[in-house]
């Protein structure tokens, strides 16, 4: 028997994940009268929005069940899938509950989407979040801080309350709490992956994107308690793998299930990275905005969308792989994802030097068939086990 | 599949005007210096065209090496397919930018440049990150190959269609605190602002003449092709020669050459010789295809289509909109230059620009060449197509190819679309110059 | 009589439309596109001229005051007899060529010539029943009709006589190329028309006279325009070549003058075209490099399911729960299909999903070209597929509201019709 409340929790998470029309966001707006602002992968300063009474809503594209009717008219076949589903959702009214959108500077496709958005939805706030690629507080930091102050001003113009240090400090605490919960779940999965199947964790991560931080933190905690207490979940003998490359366009749930069924136990991943992009607590400070900026500069993940010199990304991936005791690495990137695919040879070189087995495949958020991936991942998992048993 | 006449044309020597011959000599000298740099002790920096800091490098006597130019040259010499396959064998995805793969493949194949001479290893990797995320990834990859120091210049994006003080300050700060100190360290010389100012003054002179050349396309017939032909005209200023007296002389001579063509009411010179009557005036968005550059151009010139303005000729700076390097504000003006390159403009700004070109150059329509490699250009081009059509009332055409991967240039397909497009233009306005000239 | 002709050289079939000086279509012809485009054009034109003479016969009969029903009956009978005659003539040619090829074989079974004789004699005997009144034929092409009979008979013979089936089939493959490329074998209206009348038990004297007059009419070509994907290879001077986009736009306008948006889904490409009130193209989009979502995709699916292309639509229409298919990649079509089937999905539900997926691709192309305006005309081979049509209609309604959707029985000739109109205009322009 599974732990009490777990099934209900997962059911709710799935409902939130499946609800393109953002019912939870509408309900929140009705309740609070606040603004809701969407953001694209992979990082957004949610603390700042929250401090101004704004609900940050994570948009990670569509899923395999979204029929693309208008979105394909915007993008050629050699461009990844996420911008077309995002446009589709915008045009079919699914995102009407949002008062604006943030487009973080992660690649040229999302960058240009910000321009299309400005023109298609002129009444809504549309802000390109030009995340700095210089990480010196006096240069990139100064620039980023000005951008955030500008964003804050734009929110006020739309009716949000002005940003105060107290409110921001409080919001940072709340998001620190959420980060700790998420990290604790990842830690539990690292130690006892059978307790935290990734297809469940993924659902909870996706569901949290549309909830206010207080609720998402509680949901992570409840899920953690429920699965930790669930005695029905017994260890299984699967290959421990790290999955990397899926930081922007998210894989369909079916792909994650396919990997698990093929014998892969995912012990670290890049999914829905916004929850973990800042790796540790943002310290309390008299200047909370400075602290928020500084966290981005110094404590952000070594994502492929971030400039990291001297091949340190490879080192970091090797470290991550070792830290979670993984036996292999899955490069699982969306088709036509420039940042992920351009990084891949560099990362492969680093993990190969350490003798970590790896395999690579591509997907798109609407992939409907996984036969090839199932066979590839299955063979990979089998070979890892053979190798480790030898 | 190439038709026999195309094969014959390819084998024959291309027609060149005297400015082109001059340019060829300039480039040859540059690569010669690069090849001998280890003996002469000259330093070199690898850097990119958009947002390049030519004058600053020049003031330190550092020679630029431009990987995208090498990639396109490799394509024009028919080597890119082989280089791309080398890179793909090393694990680079078929999905990503072929400039990067061609460059990596060239590097792995001995790093022999367009003149057949070996390129020096860099003394500095100067990552001018303007208008394209892939540049950043490219340098992360190059860092694995070379031990040279890296200087990263992050140029923010003009998302709201303007340059703010914050953006300018951010770039200037990076120049002062990162780029210049690194150059000082690499060359062992102190930053010489007077020297920089001299170079900037020379740049502005050459830029004046370049703009006059580009604007000459407002004439009927246009004396230049502002897409295919402009590739040659912008060459020196986009690459290694901005800020030199050589460039000033080149552009002065070029301008005279073009003025003469205007006076004689001559059309553009194409590789197949003087073009016939001007039938269609076209604005083009998107980079050219380099593997079949000449064949591609011929598909236009055979139909009497002249490109009177192009956005590609602005990737190295928007001089025609008034920007000039300014010796009185050296670092600020370099910052504004970087911020202002075409690929750093927002989509709405790009649409405004194309509409403006259609009017200013009295074009019959516009064509988008959508290249698979370049998301900075391509993502959103279908939106540009519809918006520009709606706002200008002039028909747009859409073709797809790639920068330097010959696998993505389907000549029959592209010719089919271009022909359909030109026939549509002709049918739509039977009173246009086009038809009148054809009869 | 003076006529203009338009020829559309497509990837699967070549079509010709003959137009009178009054801009009314007189005749149409269609044939398989083959490696020899010149022959394909010649055969299509010959067919269209035969059809033209049928039109002339019809006009003669009309002029003679015969009631419409009687006229239709006479024409139907004439055509049936004519096609049978034509088939006989092609069969004789096939006999001759197969025999010639069989003699050239270095080693051949002793009984080969007897076997071939038997097969071809049987085929000749079958002509009457093949063309019996009311009989249904699977195709109008000699290659298909004769091929299916020859191969069936060859299979029987191979079993009983010991002559290898592959040998017999190989001989047919060689011979059919020559036969279908021979204009002489398909014959002239003059010959088959008169023979057809002679075969009738009591030929109507009016018909007899009309056929004689139609046969004697001199047809004089005043203009020709070629189009289609293979137009670069057409045996026409360059000035007489127009893009298929323009021809489709004008052709659709001629079929349905209210047309503003045209969708054409052919074998290898899909086109979305916007036209103005004169049929002049104002914008267009074609599918990108990849042929996903074109007619050819349905061909692969049919092969994979061992069905005929024409059986796909009706089967898909039986679906009650269409499966969602996201990929219309031709390369993966087979794998996707097998996986779906192995998951226990029903064939009709998968097919319904596939049809919808194809139409979705077309919808995005339409949106790229500027959307859909009333009236909407759907052309190309896929327009004959009822499942595709109903998927299209429902998506059009959902996204663009109610509008008139035109589909012509003769939509396959749209490009050739547009070309013929250009040919006529060019001829008039020259005359002016």
Element (H, E) at B153: strand B150-154
The yes-or-no verdict on residue A389 having pLDDT over 80 is: no
The yes-or-no verdict on residue B16 having pLDDT over 80 is: no
| A91 in a structural domain | yes
- Least confident stretch, A102-111, A275-284, B242-251, C154-163: C154-163
Compare CB distances from C336 to A67, A69, A369 and report the shortest one's residue.
A369
Element (H, E) at B88: helix B80-89
The yes-or-no verdict on residue B432 having pLDDT over 50 is: no
Put simply, the answer to whether C360 touches A70 (Cβ < 8 Å) is no
| B249 in a structural domain | yes
Angle between helices C386-400 and C347-369 (to 10 degrees): 50
Q: Find the chain C residues whose C-beta atoms sit closer than 8 A to any C-beta of A.
A: 288-290, 324-327, 332, 335-336, 339-340, 360-361, 363-368, 395, 398-399
| A106 in a structural domain | yes
Distance from CA of B428 to the nearest CA of C (A): 7
Cβ burial C41-66 (10 Å sphere, 16+ → b, else e): bbbbbbbbbbbbbbbbbbebbeeeeb
Query: What is the C-alpha to C-alpha distance for residues A36 and A49, in angstroms, rounded to an integer?
Result: 9
Put simply, the answer to whether A67 touches C324 (Cβ < 8 Å) is yes
Distance from CA of A188 to the nearest CA of B (A): 34
Do C357 and C325 form a contact (C-beta atoms < 8 A)?
yes
| C114 in a structural domain | no
Q: How many independent structural domains does chain A possess?
A: 1
- The pLDDT value recorded for residue A2 is 54
Contacts (Cβ under 8 Å, ≥6 apart) of C34: C40, C177, C180, C181
- Least confident stretch, B183-187, B225-229, B423-427: B423-427
With 0.95 as the threshold, say if the pTM is over it: no
The yes-or-no verdict on residue B267 having pLDDT over 60 is: yes
* Chains contacting A (3+ CB pairs below 8 angstroms): B, C
Instruction: Give A315's contacts in chain B (Cβ within 8 Å).
Output: none
Contacts (Cβ under 8 Å, ≥6 apart) of A82: A40, A41, A60, A61, A62, A109, A110, A248, A249, A334, A365
Q: Which residue has the tokens 């010649």?
A: C42
Contacts (Cβ under 8 Å, ≥6 apart) of C184: C93
Distance from CA of A271 to the nearest CA of C (A): 23
Put simply, the answer to whether B420 touches C368 (Cβ < 8 Å) is no
Distance from CA of C228 to the nearest CA of B (A): 10
Distance from CA of C398 to the nearest CA of A (A): 10
Put simply, the answer to whether B419 touches C243 (Cβ < 8 Å) is yes
Nearest chain A residue to C337, by CA = A369
- First and final CA of chain A: distance in angstroms? 36
The proportion of chain A whose per-residue pLDDT surpasses 90, expressed as a percent, equals: 92
| B8 in a structural domain | no
pLDDT, tens digit, 9 for 90 and up, residues B193-214: 999 999 999 999 999 999 999 9
The yes-or-no verdict on residue B57 having pLDDT over 80 is: yes
Angle between helices C205-216 and C37-63 (to 10 degrees): 140
Put simply, the answer to whether A309 touches B150 (Cβ < 8 Å) is yes
Nearest chain B residue to A313, by CA = B140
- Would you call B281 helix, strand, or coil by DSSP? strand
The proportion of chain C whose per-residue pLDDT surpasses 70, expressed as a percent, equals: 95
| B3 in a structural domain | no
Distance from CA of C371 to the nearest CA of B (A): 10
Q: What is the rounded average pLDDT for all residues in chain B? A: 92
The yes-or-no verdict on residue C71 having pLDDT over 70 is: yes
Handedness of CA B223, B224, B225, B228 (dihedral sign): positive
Put simply, the answer to whether C335 touches A77 (Cβ < 8 Å) is no
- The pLDDT value recorded for residue B6 is 39
Do C175 and C120 form a contact (C-beta atoms < 8 A)?
no
Q: How many independent structural domains does chain C possess?
A: 1
Compare CB distances from C325 to A70, A71, A368 and report the shortest one's residue.
A368
pLDDT, tens digit, 9 for 90 and up, residues A63-86: 988 988 889 899 998 999 999 999
| C61 in a structural domain | no
Pick the residue of C328, C332, C355, C364 with the most A CBs within 10 A to test the interface with A by mutation. Answer: C364
| B303 in a structural domain | yes
Do A264 and A381 form a contact (C-beta atoms < 8 A)?
yes
The yes-or-no verdict on residue C308 having pLDDT over 60 is: yes
- The pLDDT value recorded for residue C329 is 67
Contacts (Cβ under 8 Å, ≥6 apart) of C103: none
3-state SS, chain C, equals CEEEEEEEECCCEEEEEEEECCCCEEEEEEEECCCCHHHHHHHHHHHHHHHHHHHHHHHHHHHCCCCHHHHHHHHHHHHHHHHHHHHHHHHHHHHHHHHHHHHHCCCCCCCHHHHHHHHHHHHHHHHHHHCCCCCCCCCCCHHHHHHHHHHHHHHHHHHHHCCCHHHHHHHHHHHHHHHHCCHHHHCCHHHHHHHHHHHCCCCCHHHHHHHHHHHHCCCEEEEEEEECCCHHHCCCCHHHECCHHHHHHHHHHHHCCCCCEEEEECCCCEEEEEECCCCCEEEEEECCCCCCCCHHHHHHHHHHCCCCHHHHHHHHHCCCCCCCCCCCCHHHHHHHHHHHHHCCCCHHHHHHHHHHHHHHHHHHHHHHHCCCCCCEEEECHHHHCHHHHHHHHHHHHHHHCCCCEEECCCHHHHHHHHHHHHHHHHHHHHHC
Put simply, the answer to whether B424 touches C368 (Cβ < 8 Å) is no
Burial, A24: exposed, middle or buried (Cβ in 10 Å; 0-12, 13-18, 19+)? buried
The yes-or-no verdict on residue C331 having pLDDT over 70 is: no
Query: What is the C-alpha to C-alpha distance for residues C110 and B194, in angstroms, rounded to an integer?
Result: 100
Q: What is the rounded average pLDDT for all residues in chain C? A: 89
The yes-or-no verdict on residue B115 having pLDDT over 90 is: no
User: In the predicted model, what is the mean pLDDT of residues C308-317?
Assistant: 87
- The pLDDT value recorded for residue C289 is 57
- Segments forming the whole domain that contains residue A37: 19-163
Q: What is the rounded average pLDDT for all residues in chain A? A: 95
As for the ipTM of the complex, it is 0.95
User: In the predicted model, what is the mean pLDDT of residues C75-104?
Assistant: 92
The yes-or-no verdict on residue A162 having pLDDT over 80 is: yes
Partner C, chain A 76-95, Cβ-Cβ below 8 Å:
76-77
Nearest chain C residue to B380, by CA = C368
Distance from CA of B380 to the nearest CA of C (A): 12
Put simply, the answer to whether A73 touches C290 (Cβ < 8 Å) is no
Hey, which bits of B315-379 come out as E strands? 365-371
Cβ burial B301-323 (10 Å sphere, 16+ → b, else e): bbbbbbbbbbbbbbbbbbbbeeb
Compare CB distances from B137 to A83, A140, A338 and report the shortest one's residue.
A338
- CATH number for A103: 3.40.50.11890
Burial, A265: exposed, middle or buried (Cβ in 10 Å; 0-12, 13-18, 19+)? buried
pLDDT-derived band at B431, boundaries 50, 70, 90: very low
- The pLDDT value recorded for residue B9 is 39
Distance from CA of A302 to the nearest CA of B (A): 13
| A282 in a structural domain | no
- Least confident stretch, A78-92, A289-303, B302-316, C324-338: C324-338
Handedness of CA B415, B421, B425, B427 (dihedral sign): positive
Interface contacts (A, B; CB < 8 Å): 166
| C118 in a structural domain | no
pLDDT, tens digit, 9 for 90 and up, residues C236-260: 777 788 888 999 999 999 999 999 9
Pick the residue of C274, C326, C327, C369 with the most A CBs within 10 A to test the interface with A by mutation. Answer: C326
Instruction: Give A346's contacts in chain B (Cβ within 8 Å).
Output: 140-141, 144
Going by their DSSP bridges, the two strands B273-274 and B269-270 should be labelled as antiparallel
Nearest chain B residue to C268, by CA = B413
- The pLDDT value recorded for residue C187 is 81
| C249 in a structural domain | no
Pick the residue of A73, A87, A105, A112 with the most B CBs within 10 A to test the interface with B by mutation. Answer: A112
Put simply, the answer to whether C246 touches B415 (Cβ < 8 Å) is no
| A29 in a structural domain | yes
| B269 in a structural domain | yes
Q: Does A65 touch chain C (CB under 8 A)?
A: yes
Instruction: Give B129's contacts in chain A (Cβ within 8 Å).
Output: 133, 307
The yes-or-no verdict on residue A177 having pLDDT over 90 is: yes
Report DSSP state, residue B112: B
| C351 in a structural domain | yes
| C56 in a structural domain | no
Distance from CA of A342 to the nearest CA of B (A): 6
Cα angle, residue A346 at apex, residues A341 and A347 outer, rounded to 5°: 85
| B6 in a structural domain | no
Q: Which residue has the tokens 């009474």?
A: A53
Pick the residue of B285, B377, B380 with the most A CBs within 10 A to test the interface with A by mutation. Answer: B380
Burial, C423: exposed, middle or buried (Cβ in 10 Å; 0-12, 13-18, 19+)? buried
| A71 in a structural domain | yes
| B7 in a structural domain | no
Structure tokens at A279: 């790796």
Q: Which residue has the tokens 């809701």?
A: A36
- The pLDDT value recorded for residue B1 is 35
Put simply, the answer to whether C395 touches A367 (Cβ < 8 Å) is no
Put simply, the answer to whether C339 touches A371 (Cβ < 8 Å) is yes
- Segments forming the whole domain that contains residue C261: 257-407
User: Rounded to an integer, what is the distance from CA C428 to the centroid of its chain?
Assistant: 29
Query: What is the C-alpha to C-alpha distance for residues A193 and C394, in angstroms, rounded to an integer?
Result: 47
- CATH number for C350: 3.30.420.40
- Segments forming the whole domain that contains residue B421: 16-438
* Chains contacting B (3+ CB pairs below 8 angstroms): A, C
Interface contacts (A, C; CB < 8 Å): 49
Report DSSP state, residue B364: S
- Least confident stretch, A28-32, A382-386, C33-37, C158-162: C33-37
Partner B, chain A 319-358, Cβ-Cβ below 8 Å:
335-339, 341-346, 348-349
Put simply, the answer to whether C243 touches B408 (Cβ < 8 Å) is no
List the one residue out of C42, C44, C9 whose CA is nearest residue C28: C44
Instruction: Give A73's contacts in chain C (Cβ within 8 Å).
Output: 364-368
pLDDT-derived band at A289, boundaries 50, 70, 90: very high
Burial, B6: exposed, middle or buried (Cβ in 10 Å; 0-12, 13-18, 19+)? middle
pLDDT-derived band at B430, boundaries 50, 70, 90: low
| B2 in a structural domain | no
| A240 in a structural domain | no
The yes-or-no verdict on residue A169 having pLDDT over 90 is: yes
What is the C-alpha radius of gyration for chain A, rounded to an integer number of angstroms?
Answer: 20
Distance from CA of B387 to the nearest CA of A (A): 10
Cα angle, residue C286 at apex, residues C284 and C290 outer, rounded to 5°: 165
pLDDT-derived band at C330, boundaries 50, 70, 90: low
Structure tokens at A46: 């949610």
């Amino acid at each position: 028997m599974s732990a009490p409340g777990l099934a209900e929790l997962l059911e709710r998470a799935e409902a939130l994940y499946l609800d393109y029309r953002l019912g939870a966001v509408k309900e929140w707006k009705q309740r609070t009268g606040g603004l809701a602002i969407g953001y694209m992968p992979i990082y957004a300063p949610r603390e700042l929005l929250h401090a101004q009474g704004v609900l940050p809503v994570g948009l990670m594209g569509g899923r395999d069940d979204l029929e693309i009717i208008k979105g394909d008219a915007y993008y050629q076949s050699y461009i990844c899938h996420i911008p077309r589903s995002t446009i589709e959702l915008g045009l079919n009214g699914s995102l009407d509950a949002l008062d604006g959108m943030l487009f973080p500077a992660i690649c040229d496709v999302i960058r240009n989407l910000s321009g299309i958005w400005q023109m298609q939805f002129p009444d809504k706030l549309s802000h390109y979040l030009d995340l700095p690629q210089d990480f010196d507080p006096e240069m990139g930091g100064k620039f980023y801080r000005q951008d955030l102050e500008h964003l804050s001003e734009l929110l006020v113009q739309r009716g949000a309350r002005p940003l105060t240090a107290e409110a921001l400090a409080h919001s940072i605490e709340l998001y620190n709490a959420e980060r700790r919960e998420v990290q604790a779940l990842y830690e539990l999965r690292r130690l006892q992956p059978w307790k935290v199947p990734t297809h469940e964790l993924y659902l909870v991560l996706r569901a949290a994107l549309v909830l206010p931080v207080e609720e998402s933190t509680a949901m992570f905690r409840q899920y953690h308690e429920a699965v930790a207490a669930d005695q029905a979940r017994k260890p299984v003998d699967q290959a421990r793998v790290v999955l990397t490359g899926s930081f922007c366009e998210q894989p369909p749930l079916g792909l994650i299930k396919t990997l698990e069924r093929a014998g892969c136990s995912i012990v670290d991943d890049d999914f829905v990275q916004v929850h973990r992009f800042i790796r540790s607590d943002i310290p309390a400070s008299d200047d909370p905005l400075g602290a928020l900026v500084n966290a981005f500069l110094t404590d952000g993940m070594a994502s492929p969308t971030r400039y990291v010199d001297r091949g340190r990304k490879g080192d970091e991936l090797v470290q991550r792989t070792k830290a979670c005791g993984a036996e292999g690495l899955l490069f699982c990137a969306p088709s036509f994802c420039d940042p992920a695919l351009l990084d891949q040879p560099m990362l492969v070189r680093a993990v190969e030097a350490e003798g970590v087995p790896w395999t690579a495949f591509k997907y798109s958020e609407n992939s409907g068939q996984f036969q090839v991936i199932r066979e590839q991942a299955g063979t990979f998992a089998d070979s890892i086990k053979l190798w480790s048993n030898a | 599949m190439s038709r026999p006449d195309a094969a014959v044309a390819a084998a024959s020597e291309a027609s060149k005007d005297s400015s082109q011959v001059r340019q060829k000599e300039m480039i040859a000298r540059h690569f010669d210096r690069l090849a001998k740099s280890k003996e002469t002790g000259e330093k070199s920096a690898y850097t990119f065209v958009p947002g390049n800091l030519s004058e600053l490098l020049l003031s330190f006597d550092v020679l630029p090496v431009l990987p995208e130019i090498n990639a396109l040259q490799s394509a024009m010499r028919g080597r890119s397919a082989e280089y791309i396959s080398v890179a793909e064998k090393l694990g680079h995805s078929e999905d990503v930018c072929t400039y990067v793969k061609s460059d990596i493949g060239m590097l792995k194949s001995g790093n022999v440049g367009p003149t057949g001479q070996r390129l020096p290893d860099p003394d500095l990797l100067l990552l001018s990150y303007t208008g394209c995320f892939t540049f950043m990834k490219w340098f992360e990859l190059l860092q694995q190959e070379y031990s040279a120091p890296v200087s990263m210049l992050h140029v923010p994006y003009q998302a709201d269609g303007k340059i703010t003080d914050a953006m300018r300050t951010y770039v200037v700060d990076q120049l002062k605190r990162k780029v210049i100190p690194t150059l000082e360290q690499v060359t062992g010389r102190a930053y010489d602002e007077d020297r920089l100012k001299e170079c900037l003054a020379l740049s502005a002179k050459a830029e004046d003449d370049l703009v006059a050349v580009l604007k000459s396309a407002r004439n009927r017939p246009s004396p230049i092709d502002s897409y295919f032909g402009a590739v040659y005209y912008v060459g020196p200023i986009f690459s290694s020669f901005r800020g030199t007296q050589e460039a000033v002389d080149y552009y002065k001579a070029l301008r005279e050459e073009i003025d003469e063509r205007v006076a004689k009411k001559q059309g553009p010179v194409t590789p197949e010789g003087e073009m016939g009557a001007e039938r269609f005036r076209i604005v083009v968005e998107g980079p050219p295809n380099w593997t079949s550059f000449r064949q591609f151009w011929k598909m236009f010139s055979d139909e009497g289509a002249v490109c009177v303005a192009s956005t590609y000729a602005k990737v190295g700076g928007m001089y025609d909109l008034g920007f000039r390097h300014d010796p009185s504000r050296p670092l600020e003006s370099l910052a504004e230059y970087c911020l202002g390159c075409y690929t750093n403009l927002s989509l709405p700004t790009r649409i405004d620009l194309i509409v403006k070109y259609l009017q200013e150059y009295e074009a019959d329509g516009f064509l988008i060449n959508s290249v698979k490699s370049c998301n900075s250009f391509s993502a959103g081009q279908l939106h540009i197509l519809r918006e520009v059509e709606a706002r200008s009332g002039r028909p747009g055409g859409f073709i797809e190819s790639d920068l330097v991967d010959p696998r993505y240039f389907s000549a029959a397909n592209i010719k089919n679309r271009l022909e359909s497009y030109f026939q549509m233009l002709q049918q739509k306005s039977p009173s246009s110059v086009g038809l009148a000239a054809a009869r | 009589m003076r006529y203009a002709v338009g020829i559309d050289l497509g990837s699967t079939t070549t079509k010709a439309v003959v137009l009178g000086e009054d801009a009314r279509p007189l005749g149409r012809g269609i044939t398989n596109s083959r490696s020899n485009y010149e022959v394909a054009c010649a055969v299509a034109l010959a067919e269209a001229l035969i059809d033209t003479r049928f039109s002339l016969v019809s006009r003669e009969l009309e002029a003679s005051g015969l009631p419409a029903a009687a006229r239709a009956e006479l024409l139907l009978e004439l055509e049936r007899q004519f096609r049978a005659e034509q088939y006989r003539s092609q069969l004789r040619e096939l006999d001759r060529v197969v025999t010639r090829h069989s003699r050239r074989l270095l080693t051949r079974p002793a009984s080969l010539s007897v076997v071939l004789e038997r097969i071809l004699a049987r085929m000749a005997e079958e002509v009457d029943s093949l063309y019996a009144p009311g009989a249904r034929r699977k195709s109008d092409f000699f290659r298909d009709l004769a091929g299916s009979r020859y191969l069936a008979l060859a299979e029987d013979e191979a079993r009983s006589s010991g002559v290898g089936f592959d040998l017999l089939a190989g001989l047919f493959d060689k011979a059919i190329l020559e036969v279908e490329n021979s204009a002489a074998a398909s014959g002239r209206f003059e010959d088959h028309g008169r023979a057809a009348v002679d075969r009738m038990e009591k030929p109507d004297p009016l018909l007899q006279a009309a056929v004689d007059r139609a046969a004697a009419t001199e047809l004089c070509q005043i203009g020709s325009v070629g189009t289609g994907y293979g137009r670069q290879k057409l045996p026409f001077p360059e000035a007489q070549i127009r893009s298929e986009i323009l021809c489709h736009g004008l052709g659709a306008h001629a079929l349905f003058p209210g047309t503003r948006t045209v969708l054409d889904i052919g074998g290898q490409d899909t086109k979305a075209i916007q036209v103005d009130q004169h049929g002049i193209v104002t914008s267009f989009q074609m599918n990108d490099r990849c042929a996903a979502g074109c007619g050819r995709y349905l061909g692969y699916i049919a092969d994979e399911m061992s069905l005929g292309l024409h059986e796909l639509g009706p089967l898909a229409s039986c679906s009650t729960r269409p499966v969602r298919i996201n990929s219309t990649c031709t390369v993966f079509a087979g794998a996707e299909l097998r996986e779906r089937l192995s998951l226990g999905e029903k064939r009709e539900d998968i097919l319904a999903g596939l049809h919808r997926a194809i139409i979705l691709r077309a919808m995005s192309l339409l949106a790229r070209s500027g959307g859909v305006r009333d009236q909407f005309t759907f052309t190309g081979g896929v327009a004959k597929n009822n499942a595709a049509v109903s998927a299209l209609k429902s998506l059009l309604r959902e996204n663009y509201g109610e509008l008139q959707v035109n589909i012509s029985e003769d939509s396959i000739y749209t490009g050739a019709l547009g070309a013929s109109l250009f040919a006529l205009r060019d001829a008039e322009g020259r005359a002016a």
